[in-house]
Chain A
Amino acid sequence: MLITERDKLSSEIGALADRLGRTRSSLIPMLQEVKRTHHVIDSFTMQIVADALEIHPVEVHSVASFYAFLGTEKQGEFVVRLCRTISCDLADKDAVARQLQTNLGIGFGSTTADGKFTLEWANCMGMCDQGPALLVNDRVFTRVTPEKVHEILADCRRSFGVFAPEHKEEHLV
């Protein structure tokens, strides 16, 4: 990371800490915000967050690594999560899974080389009556078919349709 980028991230985290309060309870909301805008919680981030809250960076790491929606790996701009729990399983989530893997050219738990997509499994996402269900970042898609997968990913790629705001946000930051 360039020094100027580091400085920028530090001041961003400082502002976040001021806004949320420099208490331990702010740790997860801070990490969520960093993850949302930068798609990664790296060791530099952990150090700065730890300093802001006056805790050890190991504490930050232990929390980041515990939660499925945080983690310490760099993720793509679009995190695609397919529900694998029972009702979606019965509704043939496997067909959707195959299509996702084929279209993205990666397996579950990986990120595309261009940094655009991360593909992950998710546990029950509360759409059991409308499975198979898929989350793309914060958006939920239900009754997903292999054909729909194609459309959803194409919209992400072009930052089109429902994903247009996502794109704007990216560039405003």
Chain B
Amino acid sequence: MITSTVGPLTFSQIEPEAGLKAALAMPRADIIAEINKSSVKGRGGAGFPLGMKWNFAAAEQSAEKFVICNADEGEPGTFKDRVILTEFPDLVFEGMTIAGRAIGAKNGIVYLRAEYTYLRRQLEDTLAKRREQGLLGKNVLGRDGFDFDIRIQMGAGAYVCGEETALIESLEGFRGEPRNRPPFPVNTGYLGRPSTVNNVETLADAACILAKGADWFKSKGTEKSTGTKIFSVSGDCEKPGVYEFPLGISIAELLAAVGGAGAKAVQVGGASGICVPAAQFSRKIAFEDVPTGGSIIVFAPGRDMLQVAHNFLDFFVDESCGQCTPCRGGNAKMLEGAEKLREGTLTLAALDELKELAETMRIASKCGLGQTSSNAFMSIIENFGDEIMARALTQSEPARN
């Protein structure tokens, strides 16, 4: 269930297939123009403008193109795509069909993470029903020459496969190792064909925008972060779960809504996001301030922030694809540093080196995993110095003598 604080839940107010019908009634370019006008940005975390992405893919000349739905949802603390796929699968498939029409693709693929295998049967049933209703297949909704179908392919347990080029590698039957970009998937994607890779929620949003118009969508949110967003809230709060909030909501407002007032810190954006201390709870969750794919993890005053950092670093060491050195070696070094901090045996010189290493990882890693994996640890060091550095200061003295 998704709890909405903006009135009735947006997704449940959309008339079924209204977006698809509207899209089929307009020229292809107008679909993208409407999306552009809405200024909707990708809901998967990176926040890339959807209209731009579709436009790039549409501009490519190719015999074949693909619409790919990223249902890999591996970011720690994120589970909203699971709920969207359970409660509004038609909206997601409708959004994919609209994308197919907009960019000129005949095939859609849902890349569903292995952990969500239990959702597959229900999704296949929904697809079958859509085929029966003429919403998929040849001449969608009787529209001559517009053929579109969707298949589901399962992931096999790798967080990095949520990265769009690793996802494509995985779809093609390879190890999930991210590619260099450029070329971007919109130019050279699945099987070398132009492909748009979009998050589950982004695709559902696209269907809503076509159904109700860009102006309606823009009436919520901020100027740079339009619309509402679905959040996954977990950790130390009274009412964890999936919520709809307008973008631009402050962390304090969000905490009040989920029963998390009094928290000591909030991790925004999952393990690859940043850790915001209580002093900064007036900051806004939006692409221009604290960006997020929707993961909110709340920490109560009693929590050991070093344990949090340690848990995240464990995760990254495990999930790094190992392709490039800054990430493969860097995350291991970070974890080692966190362990030493815990034991109180990290010297201040070593701490400085870790900070430099974090910078190197940010600059030199090939994909977003290595570029962001040190963020949480660094923001915990910065904001919870008293809690963490004290151990380093007092304990490291003997080692120096």
Question: Given that A25-B172, A89-B311 are known contacts, is A129 also in contact with B233, CB under 8 Å in the complex?
Answer: yes
Distance to closest chain B CB from A88 (angstroms): 9
CA distance A153 to B271 in the complex (A): 31
Q: Does B143 contact A (CB under 8 A)?
A: no
Closest chain B residue, CB of each to CB of A23? B173
CA distance A68 to B114 in the complex (A): 10
Q: Do A87 and B176 touch across chains, with their CB atoms under 8 A apart?
A: no
CA distance A129 to B308 in the complex (A): 17
Q: Do B175 and A66 touch across chains, with their CB atoms under 8 A apart?
A: yes
Chain A contacts for B267, CB-based, 8 A: 86
Q: Do A135 and B115 touch across chains, with their CB atoms under 8 A apart?
A: yes
Q: Do A28 and B234 touch across chains, with their CB atoms under 8 A apart?
A: no
CA distance A101 to B25 in the complex (A): 60
CA distance A122 to B307 in the complex (A): 18
Chain A contacts for B233, CB-based, 8 A: 129
Closest chain B residue, CB of each to CB of A86? B311
Question: Given that A90-B235, A123-B74 are known contacts, is A27 also in contact with B173, CB under 8 Å in the complex?
Answer: yes
Q: Do A70 and B157 touch across chains, with their CB atoms under 8 A apart?
A: yes
Interface centre among B78, B79, B159, B321 (most CB of A within 10 A): B79
Distance to closest chain B CB from A172 (angstroms): 17
Q: Do A124 and B157 touch across chains, with their CB atoms under 8 A apart?
A: no
Q: Do B79 and A69 touch across chains, with their CB atoms under 8 A apart?
A: no
Q: Does B137 contact A (CB under 8 A)?
A: no
Chain A contacts for B242, CB-based, 8 A: 129
Distance to closest chain A CB from B127 (angstroms): 17
Question: Given that A66-B176, A129-B240, A139-B118 are known contacts, is A86 also in contact with B77, CB under 8 Å in the complex?
Answer: yes
CA distance A28 to B155 in the complex (A): 8
Q: Do B115 and A125 touch across chains, with their CB atoms under 8 A apart?
A: yes
Q: How many A-B residue pairs have CB under 8 A?
A: 120
Contact of B77 among A28, A124, A138 (CB under 8 A): A124
Q: Beta-carbon contacts of B234-271 to A below 8 Å, as 1s and 0s?
A: 11100011100000000000000000000000010001
Closest chain B residue, CB of each to CB of A63? B175
Q: Does B61 contact A (CB under 8 A)?
A: no
Chain A interface category by residue count: 35 or more
Q: Do B234 and A129 touch across chains, with their CB atoms under 8 A apart?
A: yes
Contact of B79 among A23, A126, A135 (CB under 8 A): A126
Q: Does A29 contact B (CB under 8 A)?
A: yes
Distance to closest chain B CB from A68 (angstroms): 3
Q: Does B371 contact A (CB under 8 A)?
A: no
Q: Beta-carbon contacts of A113-128 to B below 8 Å, as 1s and 0s?
A: 0000000001111111
CA distance A27 to B73 in the complex (A): 22
Query: Which listed segment binds A: B93-101, B312-320, B386-394?
Result: B312-320
Closest chain A residue, CB of each to CB of B170? A28
Question: Given that A69-B157, A129-B232 are known contacts, is A25 also in contact with B76, CB under 8 Å in the complex?
Answer: no
Interface centre among B173, B175, B303 (most CB of A within 10 A): B173
Q: Do B154 and A86 touch across chains, with their CB atoms under 8 A apart?
A: no
Could you tell me which B residues sit within 8 Å of A by CB distance? 73-79, 81-82, 113-118, 153-159, 170-176, 191, 232-236, 240-242, 267, 271, 297, 299, 303, 307-308, 311-312, 314-315, 318-319, 321
User: Would you give 28 A-B contacts (Cβ < 8 Å), ordered by A?
Assistant: A24-B172, A24-B174, A27-B173, A31-B156, A66-B158, A66-B176, A68-B158, A69-B114, A70-B157, A84-B314, A85-B311, A86-B77, A86-B235, A89-B311, A90-B236, A123-B319, A124-B75, A124-B77, A125-B115, A126-B73, A126-B79, A126-B81, A128-B76, A128-B79, A129-B233, A129-B242, A131-B234, A135-B115
Q: Nearest 5 pairs between A and B by C-beta?
A: A68-B157, A69-B157, A27-B173, A67-B156, A128-B234
